[in-house]
Amino acid sequence: MPTDSQLLFADHVGRFYARQYGFPPMAGRLLGYLFVCDPPQQTIDEIGEALLASRSAITGAVKLLESYGMARRARTAGERMDRVSLNPASQQPQNFDAALHKEHAALFREGLALLTDAPPERRSPLEEMVALAEFLAERLPRLVEEWHVHRDELRARGKLPSQGA
């Protein structure tokens, strides 16, 4: 059974993800719970009991988190139920793909083309979005490289567990 502190943390994560990313609160609560639950792999029924939520609410939250690559389901040979856990790949920087931001820039340029004869104040929001998208496309790959170097230094100093631990 989860502790009150674990449930409070799950609630805090749920509110943060609802406010910042528009997640349904249950999806955020599930994410928070998966970070601190013991054991780290739990069935839908175990999660529902812990979070005092229906099976359908948990299943929907799992599907959403899976779609974002944040959770995964696995089934052990001989078991008839999936176990849900955090997806280890989700601990890597998300949305840092330069191609995504290049696509954003192209999309905003398409909008600008519709406003060729418009006054500058009308074009300004799209021009700024193009500039931001191009800036991110250029800078984010370097930032990810810097993060990997920093992460590896932290691992070497024992401040983070080594990969696969």
Tens digit of each residue's pLDDT (9 = 90 or more) over 33-60: 999 999 999 999 999 999 999 999 999 9
**What pLDDT is stored for residue 78 in this prediction?**
84
**Crossing angle between the packed helical segments 55-67 and 25-36, to the nearest 10 degrees:** 80
What pTM value is reported for the model? 0.78
The answer to whether residues 64 and 53 touch, using CB atoms and an 8 Å cutoff, is no
The reply to whether 114 falls in a domain is yes
Q: In sequence order, which ranges of 22-161 are alpha helices (DSSP H)?
A: 25-36, 44-51, 55-67, 98-114, 120-156
Residue that is last in its domain, among 91, 118, 143: 91
Q: Residue holding tokens 């984010």?
A: 140
Distance of CA 11 to the CA centre of its chain: 17
10 and 81 belong to one structural domain? yes
The reply to whether 55 falls in a domain is yes
Tens digit of each residue's pLDDT (9 = 90 or more) over 84-94: 999 987 777 76
Phi then psi for residue 153, to 5 deg, are -65, -40
**What pLDDT is stored for residue 164 in this prediction?**
59
Mean pLDDT of the chain: 92
Residue type, 98: A
12 and 80 belong to one structural domain? yes
Q: 71: exposed, middle or buried (C-beta count within 10 Å: 0-12, 13-18, 19+)? A: buried
Domains in the chain, number: 2
Q: Is the pLDDT of residue 136 over 90?
A: yes
Residue 91: which residues within 8 A CB-CB, separation 6 or more? none
Q: Is the pLDDT of residue 16 over 70?
A: yes
Q: Which two tokens stand for residue 9?
A: 């943390």
The reply to whether 70 falls in a domain is yes
Residue that is last in its domain, among 44, 62, 91: 91
Domain hosting 106: range is 98-156
The reply to whether 163 falls in a domain is no
Average pLDDT over residues 54-73: 95
